[in-house]
Chains A and B, each alone.
Chain A
């Protein structure tokens, strides 16, 4: 009896769920089909494929995802996203699969994707391959493989100005003396991109608060929430009064929020998670680059081998200043410094602004070409300025300047 009852209920359940599935199918089918056709059938529309290392949970990848959406909507290109693609053969497979789907441009966002993109580019000369943060386009000399970056050091400098303002305010409030003013910085790897970033951040802060020093801790990973949080906490316990970071998770910002230490963020605003400590964030807006690439392909023009976005192209941005955490007058100070950067009145890496082991830097051979020898190959100091991102788009400033110390 019980068995019978059970079997009947089970059968009824099955039938019901089947019915639910199929009615759902009937009603949904029409709508999703029509939307699929409208985006897929316009034959002349351009297809843009994107490859991301992680998904929207990473601040780094999320920044690309939003820019991709914005650019493709604006330019009427079709967007295909592939998230969570490892820096391995999976990247090449993803790129080739995007080629199969008819993409005209394919972009990958992570440094380790580069070699696999080059492999895919060699096999598909008619498709344009773009790679952010990479270093090899200018030496590979393929017509269809391109690197891009932005002069984010200018954005970091401006974020540094905001940090300096905050530190000055805290000194005035008597929280610590001007000689105790020490910032902390959570870095991913001791790589030029990170070093260039934290040095410009430091120089920005120093331009407002000359006595400031900075302590850097590397996590050895681009994305590790636990390590980033631990690093931030370590820096805070070392007496750092303000933290910034170049790593992609929410680890450092949330550590700052719980410790009540002001934070200058990266890749975008973290104000929703850190309403009391978030000051401002610098970020690269990739939409101008994507729009530029789409335009080039539409008009049949060549894409720059190395493209460096600037404040002027709208690639280097600062988010809104969080009045609750920032010092008074921060926005004005940022605007003033920004105007000076744009007019060329100040240069971030002006050798007059920093010293190396107590001396001014007059000549530096940077390792611009990525080859087996880690040797400097290009003189990058000209007229007293370290010319960052000029000989290739990815940063190559990797000098250890005075005032910044790295801790283990």
Chain B
């Protein structure tokens, strides 16, 4: 009864209806397990180390002591902060890959206040100035590409990317300007003796303040995106600019407003990094977070609460990775391989959550 021999492909891809939660999380868990197994096999083949030991070491590297847990939470908070910053822009389909530069500019403004105003004005006032300066500097930095996008429809991906390099060059210029000793291009810890402009520590916990600030931001961003009018508007602009225009939204305004918010949150990240943690600024202060944050945000499907999870995963992998190179004498590149495998699987599994494979049916045999 078969019709002509239509060449049917081995499989074809079909979009899934939304999966029940337990199934989608089941797929994710399987993906992580599979990633661990593949990474384990590769570890064994390449290095001869026992993968279980490697994983245990990663675990110890991340959770081994209370200091490491604090350190992990701090890194998590900073990454999460930048991820929160890029999220509204990405929901609006505005590809802001300039978070790195926005964080640096926020940090640079903080450092500038600490260096030029340190000891000249009361500390409380200085900190207020720092907060205002860092947030507004980064917001303006982010507004520039948004303005050009809104007015002249420039490509925001390239624009924000290039702004990163401008920011890095600015920082290295100021590194030279504020260097100590002469010629070294090294700023060192700012106000090491007086602690002027250092954000206060809560109790004995160096990083608690950062963590609390970022937690509050997470809640704010969740509510802002999900329940506020602004959040609704930027989602509509993201879905379709024409629709947004049709329902009477001022698209340009929404783009600029959202990028100001995005930049402002990056500014807070810069403030916390420079004023709260490092007390210095270098070209590596942002440390690639501006790019990693995109992955964090995307993996969490732009949901700030899920972002805690995805940021945790990536921070855990990073801090665990450092310990691998210490304990096994393996180069950092090796831990990058493991991290790469795990992230590859996690991103890959999203495909299987959204689509399913239909294999060529084998009814001939069945009949």
Contact = CB atoms under 8 A, between A and B. Distances in A.
Interface of A: 1-3, 6, 14, 17-18, 20-21, 24-25, 28-29, 32, 55-57, 80-84, 86-89, 93, 96-97, 100, 111-112, 114-116, 118-119, 135, 189-192, 194-195, 220, 367, 370-372, 374, 398
A97 B44 contact: no
A374 B177 CA distance: 12
Contacts of B322: 82, 84
Nearest to B30: A14
Nearest to A28: B50
Contact of B44 (A3, A20, A32, A55): A20
A6 B65 CA distance: 44
B331 interface: yes
Interface stretch (B17-25, B256-264, B275-283, B307-315): B275-283
Interface in B349-367: 359-360, 362, 365-366
A391 to B, nearest CB: 14
B44 A84 contact: no
Nearest to B11: A2
A14 B188 contact: no
Contacts of A96: 67
Given A83-B332, A88-B280, A118-B192, A398 B183 contact: yes
A267 B181 CA distance: 23
Interface in B319-367: 322, 325-326, 329, 331-332, 359-360, 362, 365-366
Contacts of B38: 17
B48 to A, nearest CB: 8
A32 B287 contact: no
A96 B53 CA distance: 24
A6 B359 contact: yes
A2 B360 contact: yes
Contact of B186 (A28, A111, A374): A111
B184 A83 contact: no
21 contacts: A3-B359, A24-B44, A24-B50, A28-B49, A29-B50, A32-B49, A55-B325, A55-B332, A83-B332, A86-B287, A87-B280, A89-B278, A97-B71, A115-B192, A115-B280, A118-B189, A189-B185, A195-B183, A367-B181, A370-B180, A371-B180
Nearest to B279: A89
A115 B195 CA distance: 13
A93 B70 CA distance: 10
A358 to B, nearest CB: 24
Interface centre among A20, A96, A195, A398 (most CB of B within 10 A): A20
Nearest to A396: B181
Closest 7 CB pairs of A and B: A191-B183, A28-B50, A115-B189, A1-B362, A115-B188, A88-B278, A89-B278
Given A84-B332, A192-B183, A21 B325 contact: no
B52 A370 contact: no
Interface centre among A17, A112, A114, A370 (most CB of B within 10 A): A112
Contact of B182 (A1, A97, A119, A367): A367
A374 B184 CA distance: 12
B41 A112 contact: no
A223 to B, nearest CB: 12
Given A17-B40, A135-B181, A195-B183, 7 more contacts: A24-B50, A25-B51, A80-B326, A118-B189, A191-B181, A191-B185, A367-B182
B62 to A, nearest CB: 12
Contact of A191 (B51, B182, B280, B285): B182
Contacts of A111: 184, 186
B37 interface: yes
A150 B41 CA distance: 46
B182 A87 contact: no
A100 B181 CA distance: 32
A97 B67 contact: yes
B245 interface: no
Contact of B181 (A24, A80, A370): A370
Contacts of B180: 370-372, 374
Contacts of B181: 135, 191-192, 367, 370, 374
A86 to B, nearest CB: 6
A114 B192 CA distance: 12
Interface string B51-88: 11100000000000101100100000000000000000
Nearest to B192: A115
Interface in B65-114: 65, 67-68, 71
